[in-house]
Amino acid sequence: MALNEIIGIMTDQLMEGNMTTRWDAEKLVELQMRLHLAQDGEAIDIDISEAALLLDGMAFTEVMSVDFPFFEMVQWTSDFVTEELRAYWTEEEWRVFAAK
């Protein structure tokens, strides 16, 4: 559910003309469609670039939520999801990906 919310926020930003150079709209929509399958109980695989896209969207959402009364919940959710997503790849794999 949290990932779908993040993608919704990212999609809204793209629709408003923001972040067009930062996020690939086509990749975002494709990932969103696959995440909807996961909500129906179907397992999906994501690659490290998709995880990085989600992490970037969460970081953006966290920064944009700093003045809201529910900011602590956003932080907690972001920390939890980040830990879960990053766990599938080693620190070395993340370093190699970031260096590209």
Model confidence pLDDT, tens digit, residues 15-60: 998 888 889 999 999 999 999 888 888 888 999 999 999 999 999 9
pLDDT above 90 for 65: yes
Q: What angle do CA 65, 32, 66 make, to 5 degrees?
A: 5
pLDDT at 99: 97
Q: Where residue 1 falls among pLDDT bands split at 50, 70, 90?
A: confident
Joined tokens for residue 27? 């990749």
pLDDT at 30: 94
Q: Half-sphere exposure of residue 31, counting CA atoms within 13 Å on the CB side?
A: 24
- Which domain does 28 fall in, by range? 2-99
pLDDT at 38: 85
Chain mean position to CA 84:
12
Q: For residue 78, give every residue at least 6 positions away whose Cβ sits within 8 Å of its Cβ, in sequence order, or none.
A: 58, 59, 61, 62
Q: How many separate domains does the chain show?
A: 1
Number of neighbouring beta carbons within 10 Å of residue 76: 10
Outline where 1-100 has alpha helix (H): 2-15, 25-39, 48-64, 71-86, 91-99
